[in-house]
Amino acid sequence: MKKCQSHPHGSPELPELADRLRRKSRKVTIPRQAVLKVLRVRRRPLTVKEIYEALSPSPCDLATIYRSINLLERMGMVKRFDLGEGAARFELLAEGDDGHHHHLICTRCSDIVEIEECFPEELQAKIAQRNGYSKVTHRLEFFGVCPRCQ
């Protein structure tokens, strides 16, 4: 009797995720479903350790989470972010979404807000051109002190 939430935040539902796995002839296993579920329920980008802890009291091996998350990343279902904390963070991606967006992170409590703004395209084009680079993208994250930590 599971509630049929309509994609809050654009998060795909679990059955859809299972489908995506099957379509690529990947097995839909307990750990993979669990990882997807955690990523879907928690909104902010999670570290592997956070996923692991969210999975207890019936956790799976850390190695399994790493393998799952890497698979999901290769399949384009999950996006990896490096917020410079030493550990990578992962976010669920809606189908077709390339996941390009940025975050604002509280340097005190690690609260994370998703940001819609992006680096201006014309400016990036100018940078690419001036240096003769092609296929230029960027990685951009903001840091500050959140309201509650001030």
Partner DNA sequence: CTTCTTGCAAACACTTTGCACGATG
Partner DNA sequence: CATCGTGCAAAGTGTTTGCAAGAAG
Query: Looking at beta carbons only, is 6 or 150 nearer to a second copy?
Result: 150
Nearest to 32 by CA among 73, 90, 72: 72
Contact 81, 88 (CB under 8 A): yes
Residue number with CB closer to DNA (25 or 131) = 25
Helix (H/G/I), strand (E/B), else coil: 113 = strand
Q: Which does 30 bind (CB under 5 to 8 A by kind): DNA, a second copy, none?
A: DNA
Distance separating alpha carbons of residues 17 and 10, to the nearest angstrom:
13
Nearer to DNA, 80 or 128 (CB): 80
The whole-angstrom distance between residue 124's C-alpha and the CA centroid of its chain comes to 24
Q: Least distance (Å) from DNA to the CB of residue 59?
A: 8
Binding partner of 95, given a second copy, DNA, none, CB within 5-8 angstroms per partner class: none
Residues at the interface with a second copy (CB under 8 A)? 82, 84, 104, 106-107, 113, 115, 117, 119-120, 123-124, 126-128, 131-147, 150
Distance CA 36, CA 93 (A): 10
